[in-house]
Structure 1
Amino acid sequence: MTNDLSMWDEDLLDDLCNERDKNLIKQVPIPIRKRPDSWYWLFDDTGNFTVKSCYRQLAGEWACPDRKFWNKIWHLKLPGKVRNFIWRMCRDVLPTAANLINKQVNIVDRCLWCQTHIEDSMHILFRCTFAREVWAAVGMMELVLVVPGDTVFQVTKRVFQNANKDQGAMFGMICWALWYRRNK
């Protein structure tokens, strides 16, 4: 555009574009306002570009339907390591036997407690007889419902939809304690 911002810079268009593109560009209306353009990043509430907002947009997390769920997790009154653990268990990135075998690590795939099932996050945290006894002992068996085909994320999300803050915090601590004991 020219310096007066009211018409296209014909010389620049001739240097940079072919006839078809020049005609298309000239069809774009030039705004009448006198203020200069400014940068605005659509994927951040403030309009500022951040690496975090770019990563979220690229990873498809911007329009996250589970944002309320994650906000509940991050605002729990729990140690940071437990909140981080909940995030890792929901993302199914805990170093369970099943996940390690998928990464070509040569280990035994059986649960360390019951020795009968493949050790994955669902089994360690909810399906193993030891874990079920723990959930029953703390009176949370009804809250921690496991439906066939569920993922850890689905169970956890359902717990936080039905639990109050104290129950949510207890759920997180028990999951972390089960994982901690498994690693001991």
Structure 2
Amino acid sequence: EAVRHKFGELNPWCTNVSTDTYGVGVWKTIRALWPKLEGNLQKRVGDGKRIKFWKDAWKEQSPLMEIFPDLFIVSNNPDGTIYDMWSAQGWNLFFRRLLNDWEIDRVADLLNRIDDFNGTTAEPDTLRWKHNIDGQFSVKRVYKMEERVQCRGQPKIWRNLWNSPSPTKVKCFTWLVVKRACLTQEVLKKKGAIIVSRCFLCNETNETNSHLFLHCTFTAQLWSLFLNITKTSWTMPEHTADLLSCWMKRGGSKSQKKWWRIIPQCIWWTVWRERNGRCYEDRSNSIQKVKWNCIISFYFWCKEVGLEDIDQFVDILRSL
């Protein structure tokens, strides 16, 4: 009741959307899942007080208002519930005017579709989960269903990312970068923060996802570090997702691909740490120091897949 009072009621099953421009309230997060959840639910009629006759999909896959739009627009009670429209004698369908002959045929078609309705009961209306015989909802069942869908439709770049030898926190950070969800100043402004956006690395333009991780003159020197070693000619794409997709297609042999795939993660992680140091700790490193930090991170992550010594590490840089 407190949640309904605060946000207002969209329908008997859900509240209105939160209009706050920022914040991560618990209910705001839960409410954001409703559109995805609603399509997997089936309304089961009890007393009929919570299910709208025309606007809810209680009999067909679609609401009756979409199947019979011509009858809906002349209905005398378009927002009526099943409780309002049903009596012991049957359906009480009232219209705002006398029906034409062809509209009477449509009413007959409508009544034929809902002819097997057995009437209301004393039990309240309920929602049932479509994907189980018992209709019971559980987080575990939803998770397993989503897991199957994600695994079946997962792009190759994500499989390569999650299977890479970099630390888990770096993989998660890379995922945020590619999804453009990393908290750059661009994202913070969209969330309602009032800031004057500027890139902390080059001080030349606004800080956006694409600029910070791809096109910044400071970041470009890290990309050049690896591209020059491999003698690779490269035109930087517009977005990080495009870069990761193209990057995965290179790398030579199967063993070399493991190391090649680490490079974007290593660069982005190094850039983000340097950016945060300048933003929050008022410290900055020279480009030589940042390059060295990037190489060191790359070395230790490569070591996770069997790199034994620095000589082999140098050989890998030459063979990427």
**What pairs up with 1:100-119 in 2 under 5 angstroms?**
100-119=188-207
Tell me, in whole angstroms, the C-alpha distance in 2 between the residues paired with 1:73 and 1:121: 19
The structure richer in strand per residue is: 2
Answer yes or no: is the 8 Å Cα contact 1:82–1:172 preserved in 2.
yes
Classify 1:81/1:62 alpha carbon distance in 2 versus 1 (closer, same or farther; 3 Å). closer
Tell me, in whole angstroms, the C-alpha distance in 1 between the residues paired with 2:266 and 2:113: 64
Secondary structure of the residue that 1:98 maps to in structure 2?
helix
**What pairs up with 1:75-114 in 2 under 5 angstroms?**
75-114=163-202
Tell me, in whole angstroms, the C-alpha distance in 2 between the residues paired with 1:181 and 1:99: 19
Q: What letter is aligned with 1:77?
A: P
Answer yes or no: is the 8 Å Cα contact 2:199–2:207 preserved in 1.
yes
Q: Is the aligned partner of 1:177 residue 2:270?
A: yes
Tell me, in whole angstroms, the C-alpha distance in 2 between the residues paired with 1:54 and 1:152: 29
Tell me, in whole angstroms, the C-alpha distance in 2 between the residues paired with 1:128 and 1:172: 16
Aligned to 1:50: 141
Secondary structure of the residue that 1:106 maps to in structure 2?
coil
Tell me, in whole angstroms, the C-alpha distance in 2 between the residues paired with 1:92 and 1:153: 9
Secondary structure of the residue that 1:117 maps to in structure 2?
coil
Secondary structure of the residue that 1:116 maps to in structure 2?
coil
Q: Percent identity?
A: 22
Aligned to 2:235: 145
**What pairs up with 1:19-38 in 2 under 5 angstroms?**
20=113
Quick check: which has more Rg, 1 or 2? Answer: 2
Aligned to 1:31: none
Range moving further from structure 2, 82-91 or 169-178 = 169-178
Report the alpha carbon displacement of residue 112 of structure 1 after superposing the two structures with TM.
0.7
Aligned to 2:258: 165
Answer yes or no: is the 8 Å Cα contact 2:157–2:244 preserved in 1.
no
Q: What letter is aligned with 1:171?
A: P
Answer yes or no: is the 8 Å Cα contact 2:199–2:205 preserved in 1.
yes
Classify 1:144/1:22 alpha carbon distance in 2 versus 1 (closer, same or farther; 3 Å). farther
Aligned to 1:34: none
RMSD over aligned CA atoms reads: 3.3
Tell me, in whole angstroms, the C-alpha distance in 2 between the residues paired with 1:143 and 1:72: 23
Q: TM-score, normalised by structure 1?
A: 0.64
Q: CA-to-partner distance for each residue in 1:10-41, whole Å, 9 max, x for gaps?
A: xxxxxxxx765679xxxxxxxxxxxxxxx59x
Answer yes or no: is the 8 Å Cα contact 1:114–1:128 preserved in 2.
yes
Q: Which structure 1 residue ranges, 5 or more long, are not aligned?
A: 1-17, 24-38, 41-48
Secondary structure of the residue that 1:161 maps to in structure 2?
coil
Q: TM-score, normalised by structure 2?
A: 0.39
Answer yes or no: is the 8 Å Cα contact 2:171–2:265 preserved in 1.
yes
Report the alpha carbon displacement of residue 121 of structure 1 after superposing the two structures with TM.
1.5
Tell me, in whole angstroms, the C-alpha distance in 2 between the residues paired with 1:122 and 1:139: 19
